[in-house]
Amino acid sequence: MNDSLELDRTDPLAHLRSRFLGTSEPLVYFDGNSLGRPLEVTPERLAAFVRHDWGERLIRGWDEGWFDLPLTLGDRLGRVALGAAPGQTAFGDSTTVLLYKVVRAAVAARPGRDEIVIDRDNFPTDRYVAQGIAAELGLTLRWIDVDTSAGLTADELAAAVGPRTALVMASHVAYRSAWLADAPTLTQIAHDAGALVMWDLSHSVGVVPVQLDRWDVDLAVGCSYKYLNGGPGSPAFLYVAQRHLDELTQPIQGWMGATDPFLMGPTYTPTDGIRRFHSGTPPIVGMLAVEDMVELIEEAGIEAVREKSVALTSYAVELADDLLAPLGVDVASPRDPARRGGHVTLRHPRMQAVTEALWKRDVIPDYRDPHGLRIGLSPLSTSFEEVERGMHAVLGELERSG
């Protein structure tokens, strides 16, 4: 078995761990794929914003960068982590609201088609939004049953799409298993059927390299509080391919998406470009921590972040096989790192009780049915030694609970 201290010593990104709050403490954090740690600069950045940008500049801030921040930050994220050319990515509402906007816009752009294809293990919000829109518009949901230890495959999608398919909704990394979907292949399958495709990037952005333009993706949405470390409730982002910006009309018409927001005219006319997907006033404060994290990811390089992520999850699998398999624990995530995102799920009938006990010991994984203890390893803030300590803690609680 690999030595964690030696792995940390040879890790080229190890020095960046000190940029995050709390990493010098003994707490083991295995939930970076749900809520990332804050950066050390975040408290000072937020305080300075309140004192100066908001406190002194006041309403002038809109002319001094706030108005364009959702787009400039979107462009930077697109360049650093999404493989998206400028003008296609913007920050704004919650993930749920952005999902509603792009799904409604997509099905409206495919008149005569009345089906949305989605797998049953997609993230609950995605499924709930799809169900609501289907009920609202009289559409049919075509469900795909997938292996919850894996995810959506090309054969499964090809068997589900057809001439009635308006939109395919899929997650790039499955929230339960960490299955990393073959996004370019699945996108091509959807296009061959005449459908649009929408990718949820919430569990991949900032940890898995994405190439939206190269993959010919139509639409994408993702949150910013996981591997983008924006904090609880930080705004989500959306991507709309340039070729669709003139044809898609989002359903929540608001003043920020109008041609002249400050004209306050009697009727709504959508503006050009990605800004047409804005509705109300964007959450400027919520973008500040994200801005700093995108800068750090750019400094590290997304390919290097992915390499560290693969090393961390592979080490977790190695420890699970060595320490936990003798107690009946299964790895419910892909063993092939090319098909695995940034987390590992360990399955055992007692894992819910084990998770509750670990939290009391300052070891913080999370739990997902069925019987899954999920280990989310954020590459820039997690060390190999932390992984080893945490896995030994899981072993201890399993032994105690048995």
Give the CATH number of domain 45-298; options: 3.40.640.10, 3.40.50.1100, 1.10.645.10, 3.40.47.10.
3.40.640.10
**Per-residue confidence (pLDDT) for residue 376, from 0 to 100:** 97
Strands 89-91 and 363-364: unpaired
Distances 5 to 2, 16, 316 between C-alpha atoms, Å:
9, 16, 14
Q: pLDDT tens digit string along 303-318?
A: 999 999 999 999 999 9
Q: Which two tokens stand for residue 310?
A: 């693969």
The amino acid at 343: H
Over residues 289-295, mean pLDDT: 98
Count the alpha carbons within 13 Å of 116 in the hemisphere toward its beta carbon.
Answer: 30
Query: Which of 37, 226, 276, 308 is flagged as catalytic?
Result: 226
Annotated domain spans of the chain: 4-40+301-401, 45-298
Query: Which of 123, 175, 237, 384 is flagged as catalytic?
Result: 123
Q: pLDDT tens digit string along 246-269?
A: 999 999 999 999 999 888 889 999
200 is catalytic: yes
**Per-residue confidence (pLDDT) for residue 36, from 0 to 100:** 98
The amino acid at 275: R
Query: Which of 17, 101, 368, 374 is flagged as catalytic?
Result: 374
225 is catalytic: yes
Phi, psi at 171, each rounded to 5°: -100, 135
pLDDT at 57 over 80: yes
Query: Which of 119, 121, 200, 292 is flagged as catalytic?
Result: 200
277 is catalytic: no
Over residues 352-375, mean pLDDT: 97
374 is catalytic: yes
The percentage of the chain sitting over the pLDDT mark of 90, rounded to a whole number, equals 98
Count the alpha carbons within 13 Å of 222 in the hemisphere toward its beta carbon.
Answer: 37
**CATH 3.90.1150.10 for the 4-40+301-401 domain, yes or no:** yes
How far apart CA 225 and CA 289 sit, in angstroms, is: 9
* Residue that the structure tokens 């003043």 belong to: 255
Handedness of CA 188, 190, 194, 199 (dihedral sign): negative
* Residue that the structure tokens 């995108």 belong to: 294
pLDDT at 290 over 90: yes
Over residues 159-165, mean pLDDT: 98
**Per-residue confidence (pLDDT) for residue 263, from 0 to 100:** 86
With cut-offs at 50, 70 and 90, classify the pLDDT of residue 343: very high
Give the global pTM.
0.97
The percentage of the chain sitting over the pLDDT mark of 70, rounded to a whole number, equals 100
30 is catalytic: no
- Neighbour tally for 209: CB within 10 Å: 15
pLDDT at 211 over 90: yes
pLDDT at 402 over 90: no
Rounded mean pLDDT of the chain? Answer: 97
Phi, psi at 72, each rounded to 5°: -70, -40
DSSP state at residue 18:
G
Query: Which of 67, 91, 225, 315 is flagged as catalytic?
Result: 225
Q: Which two tokens stand for residue 151?
A: 């995810």
How far apart CA 7 and CA 252 sit, in angstroms, is: 49
Q: Which residues pair with 169 in a beta bridge?
A: 118, 198
C-beta of residue 20 within 8 angstroms of C-beta of residue 381 = yes
Q: Which two tokens stand for residue 117?
A: 């294809």
With cut-offs at 50, 70 and 90, classify the pLDDT of residue 2: confident
- Which of 137-151, 196-210, 252-266, 353-367 comes out lowest in average pLDDT? 252-266
